[in-house]
């Protein structure tokens, strides 16, 4: 991903969403539309989420140092997790508000609501398309994209509601559409939050440990593999460390070549792009791949 292009997209989307928010606040006040005001509040929260993602994106570009030997890539994961939680809260709030509107309908000036909602919809679609390209390979950008998508869907709901209110005074359609949008956003937000949480918890990124076992033991010098840890550090960085039992007569240069060959095969077949191996002769020879951490003295 070209980080400079991503930076420009963040700046563009942030400015555009500030304009959308101001326009919808003014439109909501003038028209008396609660739906438009709630959409403006939604957009305001998204401006904060975009800024958070943007700052995390800038932090992630910093080089490794003595305090952050892995670098700053996980700043984007933290931002994605935070944005995911915010999206979940917004979805629940929108759902509750929509339920309440069935019993508390508001008088709305449909004309102003329709014009402002169309402007908001066009701007939200532009924002969404601007972030779409980078959303495929970056969890942080994807969380921002989902924010933009939720805004676009919310704007669609407001536009449809404004049309029916303006022409036929069908006020009940607005909360129905809001409920549908909130359910969709809740689903997407949950997926983002869980993916980010799995990265932060250093969970196994769907790497088949049986395949790891088969690949490592395919080298005749290796007799056993144990104390295996596989985790995703960032969107494009999967790490693994393990202990392997080898013949005691192997020299240092032979071990180095063995490490390189195992690492290349794990990368080409499973996508693990950072492998650290510790060679042992007898210790752990009978241990399994996953060893409980309690009561062990693991190096």
Tell me the pLDDT tens digit for each residue of 242-251.
999 999 889 9
What is the Cα gyration radius of the chain?
A: 26
Q: Which residues on adjacent β-strands are paired with residue 276?
A: 241
Q: Give the integer Cα–Cα distance in Å for 67 and 238.
A: 21
For residue 161, which phi and psi values (nearest 5 degrees)? -60, -40
Structural domains of the chain in order of their starting residue, each with its CATH number: 3-201 (1.20.1510), 209-280 (3.30.70.1350)
Q: Which residue has the higher pLDDT, 105 or 87?
A: 87
Average pLDDT, the chain: 85
Calculate the CA 180 to chain-centre distance. Answer: 22
Instruction: Read off the tokens for 246.
Output: 């080898």
What are the distances in angstroms from CA 109 to CA 117, 171, 188, 223? 12, 12, 33, 77
| Strand order, beta sheet including 274-280 | 222-234, 237-246, 274-280
Q: Which residue has the higher pLDDT, 176 or 106?
A: 176
Looking at mean pLDDT, say which of 77-86, 112-121, 167-176 comes out highest.
77-86
The pLDDT tens digits of the residues spanning 260-273 come to 999 999 999 999 99
Instruction: Read off the tokens for 233.
Output: 């550090």
The pLDDT tens digits of the residues spanning 29-72 come to 888 776 677 677 767 777 887 888 888 888 988 998 999 988 89
The pLDDT tens digits of the residues spanning 183-227 come to 887 888 898 899 999 999 999 999 999 999 999 999 999 999 999
Place of tokens 């928010």: 21
Q: Where are the beta strands (DSSP E) in the chain?
A: 222-234, 237-246, 274-280
Above pLDDT 90, what percent of the chain? 33
Torsion, Cα 193 199 204 207, to 10 degrees, reads 90
- CB count within 10 Å of CB 78 equals 17
Q: Give the integer Cα–Cα distance in Å for 234 and 193.
A: 14
* pLDDT surpassing 90 at residue 279: yes
pTM of the model: 0.78
DSSP string, 199-235: HHTT---S--HHHHHHHHHTSTTEEEEEEEEEEEEET
């Amino acid at each position: 991903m070209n980080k400079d292009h991503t930076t420009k997209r963040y700046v563009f989307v942030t400015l555009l969403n500030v304009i959308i928010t101001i326009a919808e606040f003014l439109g909501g006040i003038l028209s008396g539309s609660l739906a438009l005001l709630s959409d403006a509040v939604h957009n305001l929260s998204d401006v904060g989420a975009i800024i958070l993602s943007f700052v995390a994106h800038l932090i992630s570009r910093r080089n490794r140092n003595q305090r952050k030997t892995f670098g700053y890539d996980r700043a984007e994961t933290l931002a994605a997790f935070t944005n995911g939680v915010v999206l979940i809260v917004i979805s629940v709030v929108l759902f509750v508000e929509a339920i309440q509107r069935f019993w508390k309908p508001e008088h709305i000036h449909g004309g102003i609501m329709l014009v402002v909602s169309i402007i908001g919809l066009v701007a939200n679609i532009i924002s969404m398309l601007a972030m779409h390209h980078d959303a495929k390979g970056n969890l942080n950008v994807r969380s921002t994209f989902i924010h933009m998508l939720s805004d676009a869907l919310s704007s669609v709901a407001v536009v449809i509601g404004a049309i029916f209110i303006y022409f036929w005074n069908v006020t009940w359609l607005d909360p129905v559409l809001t409920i549908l949008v909130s359910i969709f956003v809740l689903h997407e937000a949950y997926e983002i939050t869980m993916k980010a949480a799995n990265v932060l918890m250093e969970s196994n990124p769907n790497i088949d440990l049986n395949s790891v076992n088969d690949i490592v033991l395919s080298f005749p010098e290796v007799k056993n593999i144990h104390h295996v840890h596989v985790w995703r550090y960032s969107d494009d960085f999967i790490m693994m460390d393990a202990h392997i039992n080898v013949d005691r007569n192997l020299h240092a240069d032979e071990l180095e070549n063995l490490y390189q060959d195992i690492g290349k095969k794990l990368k080409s077949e499973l996508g693990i792009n950072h492998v650290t191996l510790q060679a042992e002769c007898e210790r752990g020879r009978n241990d399994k791949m996953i060893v409980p951490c309690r009561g062990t003295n693991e190096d």
